[in-house]
A and B are shown apart, each in its own frame.
Chain A
């Protein structure tokens, strides 16, 4: 079956530091890949997505590239801010984005950014 593995947290960084959160996946077929962010006490917000190999998703300074050869979708940001403190989830779905296929989530990585 499908699975997503992401690095354990918490990850603690100083403001303006470079961020990488690793994510690798196992899937049959050609999944779509996502990063979601969850702020305390809230639901999930889509951060970025990629639907095919070599696609790069980007949003709010975050980027992730769909690497089929390494089955990875690592999240990066060049300069983090305190407001980026949250839990980040890597996820995949089979088939097209927005279809009725369920999402498979990683365990989440908590990011803490300090001044």
Chain B
């Protein structure tokens, strides 16, 4: 079945530094990638949608200069949290889908726990 690999699973960084999270589709071409943020005991908040080769579409209230999304190939999307601060600490999850392939649906990565100290 479809697999999405997300790395790292956990990262701790100092305030003011940048962190990159990778999301790879291992056995299918992900034409669309979604990035979510999840606060403790809460639902997933969609941050942005990216289509391969084009700029990401950000949801209202999400700072595109702070959360940089790159979807340069059909198997890789990255989320970079720039100048991270403690309030950026959260669980980030990616999801990939392939347009036209009904059987794949939406496949989620295993998530990245970001802690900014």
Contacts and interface: CB of A to CB of B under 8 A. Distances in A.
A36 B108 CA distance: 10
Given A43-B111, A44-B93, A46-B105, A102 B43 contact: no
Contact of A46 (B93, B101, B106): B106
Contacts of B32: 99-100
A43 B6 CA distance: 9
Nearest to A96: B102
Interface in B25-40: 31-32, 34
B69 to A, nearest CB: 14
Contacts of A99: 32, 97, 99-100
A97 B102 contact: yes
Interface of A: 34, 36, 41-46, 49, 89, 93, 96-100, 102-103, 105-108, 110
Closest CB pairs A-B (n = 3):
A100-B32, A43-B108, A44-B108
Interface of B: 6, 31-32, 34, 41-44, 46, 49, 51, 93, 95, 97-111, 113
20 contacts: A34-B106, A36-B108, A42-B111, A43-B110, A44-B44, A45-B108, A46-B105, A96-B102, A97-B102, A98-B100, A98-B105, A99-B99, A99-B100, A100-B31, A100-B97, A103-B106, A105-B43, A106-B43, A108-B41, A108-B43
